[in-house]
Amino acid sequence: MAEVKRHKVGIIMNGVTGRMGTNQHLMRSILEIIKQGGVKVGDNEVIMPDPILVGSLSDPRNPKALEELCAKTGLEKWSTDVEGTLENPDYPIYFDSQSTTRRLGWVSKALEAGKDVYCEKPTATNVEDAYKLYQLAKAKGVKHGVVQDKLWLPGFLKLRKLIQEGFFGEILSVRGEFGYWVFQGEPGGQPPQRPSWNYRKEDGGGMILDMLCHYRYVIANIFGPIKSVSCLAATHIKQRWDEAGKPYKCTADDAAYATFELENGIICHIDSGWMFRVRRDDLFVLQVDGTKGSAIVGLRNCLVQSADETPRPLWNPDIDQPIDFFAGWKPVEGEDHYDNAFKVQWELFLKHVVKDEPFKWGLLEGAKGVQLAEMAIKSWRQRCWLDIPELKA
């Protein structure tokens, strides 16, 4: 049997002790790739990640958290000397899933050190900085990628297939709702499900910055380029309790009501809230209405109703509604198995780095996400519609 050619790729993973870093990037992506024997790139060729977990001492939870994570995962390499690791040529890739305000500084350092970079969104807290990261990566001639995970969720893959097949006819509008109730963490109550920095603007928190980065790539890749945005946001819940059980003032928006006009005329509207109680199919649901049919798209499932199956409602509040509007939608069949969306994008990035395969979700796309968030914040402050200027490649 032919010998398998292995491309061992060292990856510096920073911020991997956090919620996203541990669950999505380490456990469900990199470790799964290692377990499956690497990313197959030919009959006898694989890419094998070789991670080192890093975290600077500015987070007092390091190094204990790093050591514990190694023990839990069976990995051996960790370090609190992030700068020193950046100088090590055994690790050509730098990955960052630290809390948002730390991204600019560390991704810049990694780019300066000539590393290929893969990182979480938002890439920065403002478009100027996000665009600077793109320009630096371009100047350094390195490869770069930004997490755009929702594109590989089963529900969204099914939606894209429906669009390709022409199911919708002309798409008219897309309406979405995202979010759930995040517990405030008051003594004696339920603990919060998200980190406290999410609710402090000064620490990079805020619904608009968090979610509009996602909506930018979902809308632009699936429905078309965004022409303009109008957004109203609010900090509905004024006080929460942090990880230490101490009360703090919420300074970031926890809900955003955003409308996007696309260049092709489609109108998208997405409501997002960390104080919504869920009565819908999933935590993020889009309804797509077209001339020939409509779809309800969740994270994993997708339901459709064609023009022929559309009920004929009549307005009569004097009788109970005779139509069961939740019936009459059919599930879209999919594949038997879908890989984790973060893992799918990791594999594509690793192939991009090692085999030079195309990868279009780089720091410019990341900057466009931050730009949309920034324009939405401006629209909210100025109470007006704003057009999105082009960010040049």
Ligand X SMILES: NC(=O)c1ccc[n+]([C@@H]2O[C@H](COP(=O)([O-])OP(=O)(O)OC[C@H]3O[C@@H](n4cnc5c(N)ncnc54)[C@H](O)[C@@H]3O)[C@@H](O)[C@H]2O)c1
Q: Which residue is nearest to ligand X (CB)?
A: 18
Nearer to ligand X, 59 or 271 (CB): 59
Contact positions vs ligand X (CB under 6 A): 15, 17-21, 55-56, 58-59, 61, 97-100, 102, 120-122, 147, 149, 195, 210
Give the bridge partners for 7, in sequence order: 47
Nearer to ligand X, 102 or 351 (CB): 102
Nearer to ligand X, 132 or 200 (CB): 200
Write down the least CB distance from residue 39 to ligand X, Å.
20
Write down the least CB distance from residue 147 to ligand X, Å.
5
Would you list the DSSP string of 101-114?
A: GGHHHHHHHHHHTT
Write down the least CB distance from residue 119 to ligand X, Å.
8
- Nearest CA among 65, 374, 11 for reference residue 212: 374
Nearer to ligand X, 286 or 354 (CB): 286
Nearer to ligand X, 210 or 261 (CB): 210
Residue with the two structure tokens 């560390």: 106
Torsion over CA: 339, 54, 141, 353 (sign): negative
Write down the least CB distance from residue 66 to ligand X, Å.
9
Cα distance between residue 361 and residue 214, in whole Å: 12
Nearer to ligand X, 61 or 238 (CB): 61
Write down the least CB distance from residue 202 to ligand X, Å.
13
Cα distance between residue 338 and residue 153, in whole Å: 8
Write down the least CB distance from residue 143 to ligand X, Å.
19
Beta strands in the chain (DSSP E): 5-14, 39-42, 45-54, 78-79, 93-96, 116-119, 144-146, 171-179, 226-234, 239-241, 247-249, 255-262, 267-273, 284-290, 293-297, 302-306, 330-331, 386-387
